[in-house]
Structure 1
Amino acid sequence: MTHILSADIGGTTCKLGIFDESLNILEKWEISTNKTGEGILENIYDSFVVHLNRKNLDINSMIGMGIGVPGPIDFENGVVNGAVNLNWTGNIEVRKIMQKYFDGPIYVDNDANVATLGEKFKGAGQNESEVVCMTLGTGVGGGIVANNVLLHGHNGSGAEIGHFLVDQKKRFKCNCGMKGCLETVASATGVVNLVHHYYSNMSLKSSLHDHIMNKNVSAKDVFDAAKNDDEFSQFIIDKVAGYIAYAASVISVMTNPKYIIIGGGVSNAGDILIQYIEKHYKNMTFRPAQDDTHIVVAKLGNDAGIIGAAGLIKTYVIERENK
């Protein structure tokens, strides 16, 4: 039996896994991420060796290794251009470093892309060939799968969905330095941005009044209040959903996905968010492009990254060899 090694590197932990060719998890575990950024890849290799030895498996018999990293990636060369969460600065040659330890195929991609690939293969994407994922967390990430492969663009900036200009008034500054990005109005931070922007200028009162005035309201507070018929919170969700739908609408006429997957912490709002997005999406999207396209919540949670990192080997090694 042949196996795939998978690593999803995060700022706190590295999620590791051993998979079969069908991307079934044979074993998964976590190790702590070295806060200094030193030795992270060596630690991952060492942990793989320990777990493989327990199974009487030789690491050099593995089909390949997929790695997800929280930073911008030069996909062709397996290089990450800095990763703040890992204390990595400058160009880190992830593939080249790991090849000191493992001489099989190694593919490296950013964490949002591998999460998208995970959802495509084993989650809400139903293994369709055309899938988009928007990850709404502290920021907004995402990925686009077209014709079964991830879109990277000529310099790795493809599918940076969080930096889609959706707020034409450019009211809030994004971490990227620009204003009006999707991230500023649809992330957990973006929800709070909109709350403070609108509340003082509207006659709508809210059960969250004290939280808003004390500057300690959260996105979760807003979604919970909306579910309890808080009119102001419903207004905010409608605004957030409109921005998400606009980005989804443009993507739909570009790649025509079968599934638009909403993931990340904000997606925990569930049905209420999806319903508002669908309302706007249907009213603004080219009819043929939205036909039989489904807006759904991500299914895999924290496993999306390791499944997707293993999916890099399935996509770029196994499936290419079978063509």
Structure 2
Amino acid sequence: MIILAADVGGTTCKLGVMNEALEILHKWEIPTNKEEEGRHILRNIHESFARNARLKGYSMEDVKGTGLGIPGPIDFDNGVVNGAINLNWHGRKNIREAYEQLSGKPVFVDNDANVASLGEQVRGAGRGSKDVVCITLGTGVGGGIISNHELVHGYNGSGGELGHFKVDFKERFQCNCGHKGCLETVASATGVVNLAHYYYKELRFSTLIEDDLEAGTLQAKQVFDAAKAGDEFALYIIRKVSNYIAYALSVISVMTNPEYIIIGGGVSKAGDFLIDHIEERYQEMTFSPAAEGTKIVTAQLGNDAGMIGAAALIKQYVK
């Protein structure tokens, strides 16, 4: 039995063929064709899978189903996407129905951050645990909550939108969602830079990253590199970032009590340096029984997480 999975992004679609153990047999990428309001995307995916089957010598009749990870809000029960700007999709689209018409096989659709979280739970850093929280710190902040092996979707699909947890009550930075104070504004790569500029103007520290601050060319990696080198101002910023993340995780912990909190995304490449700072504040502020035994770790699967998680939807829901 074969499971197909696609992690659909604004630039490329990552495609994978897996067995029932969710081991990747083949994987490749195709460009995301966003022309004509993205109307070609699903057909391009299906045709690429069909070509791969011919090349690799397996039959599409052996496919159990296809899992799709989509960068947009999802009505999981019905497979409906309510707009996906990165794909040039506008309004509500029944992606499950459209792809089932192409493939003739069962289809499950979920948000890209959710399927990446599920991937880490089934074959990555949270493998074997039934209660996991994943938070991805990249250009923005995403995430997913898995409770008793099930992704938390909530009433209208907004469950697990961790980037929009309000943590900055001074409301200093505008979020793309229209509100101020979201975790995304102070803990993403953009958020690290936001805080560096804000506190540089306020405190006027002498710092290794001064030239880039003045020139407006600062990137999050430079802040982490300077902090690791002992730069006092950069360390101050990383402690602020870690405090915001730890606060969000402390509240999530008393609601879901995860065994693993998995940190992914580009910012997580700071590794143990970031984890240690988050862990210190998390232990200080979290209800002790909720924090006991919870492990904060970095993600393991990289770009494969979304594909594996999308395939896991088929394994979990197609009987």
TM-score normalized by the length of structure 2: 0.98
**Residue 33 of structure 1: aligned partner:** 32
Report the number of matched residues: 317
**Residue 3 of structure 1: aligned partner:** 2
**Residue 58 of structure 1: aligned partner:** 59
1:1-323 equivalence runs, <5 A:
2-36=1-35, 37-317=38-318, 321=319
1:164 Cα deviation from its structure 2 partner: 0.2
1:284 Cα deviation from its structure 2 partner: 0.4
Question: SS of the residue aligned with 1:157?
Answer: coil
* Higher deviation after alignment, 35-44 or 278-287: 35-44
Structure 1 CA distance for aligned equivalents of residues 300 and 62 of structure 2: 31
| Residues 8-45 of structure 1, C-alpha deviations (whole Å, 9 max, x = no match) | 10111111011011100011111111031131100110
1:100 Cα deviation from its structure 2 partner: 1.2
Structure 2 CA distance for aligned equivalents of residues 143 and 156 of structure 1: 11
The residue identity in structure 1 corresponding to 2:19 is D
Name structure 1 gaps, 5 residues minimum: none
1:55 Cα deviation from its structure 2 partner: 3.2
1:6 Cα deviation from its structure 2 partner: 0.4
Structure 2 CA distance for aligned equivalents of residues 203 and 188 of structure 1: 22
1:203 Cα deviation from its structure 2 partner: 4.7
1:109 Cα deviation from its structure 2 partner: 0.3
| Residues 172-224 of structure 1, C-alpha deviations (whole Å, 9 max, x = no match) | 11100011000000001111110111012215311111110111111011011
Name structure 2 gaps, 5 residues minimum: none
Structure 1 CA distance for aligned equivalents of residues 76 and 155 of structure 2: 10
Is the 8 Å Cα contact of residues 261 and 298 (structure 1) preserved in structure 2? yes
1:66 Cα deviation from its structure 2 partner: 0.4
Question: SS of the residue aligned with 1:292?
Answer: coil
| Residues 95-153 of structure 1, C-alpha deviations (whole Å, 9 max, x = no match) | 11111112222100010000000111111112310000001111100000000010000
* Higher deviation after alignment, 95-104 or 24-33: 95-104
Is the 8 Å Cα contact of residues 34 and 40 (structure 2) preserved in structure 1? no
The residue identity in structure 2 corresponding to 1:33 is T
Question: SS of the residue aligned with 2:45?
Answer: helix
Is the 8 Å Cα contact of residues 164 and 247 (structure 1) preserved in structure 2? yes
Question: SS of the residue aligned with 1:168?
Answer: coil
* Higher deviation after alignment, 280-289 or 49-58: 49-58
Identical amino acids, percent of aligned pairs: 61
Structure 1 CA distance for aligned equivalents of residues 128 and 97 of structure 2: 31
Structure 2 CA distance for aligned equivalents of residues 19 and 139 of structure 1: 29
Is the 8 Å Cα contact of residues 69 and 109 (structure 2) preserved in structure 1? yes
Structure 1 CA distance for aligned equivalents of residues 61 and 253 of structure 2: 42
Question: SS of the residue aligned with 2:136?
Answer: strand
1:56 Cα deviation from its structure 2 partner: 3.0
Question: SS of the residue aligned with 1:167?
Answer: coil
Structure 2 CA distance for aligned equivalents of residues 203 and 47 of structure 1: 55
1:93 Cα deviation from its structure 2 partner: 1.3
The residue identity in structure 1 corresponding to 2:15 is L
Question: SS of the residue aligned with 1:5?
Answer: strand
1:71 Cα deviation from its structure 2 partner: 0.6
TM-score normalized by the length of structure 1: 0.96
The residue identity in structure 2 corresponding to 1:106 is V
* Higher deviation after alignment, 139-148 or 35-44: 35-44
Question: SS of the residue aligned with 2:203?
Answer: coil
Structure 2 CA distance for aligned equivalents of residues 189 and 125 of structure 1: 27
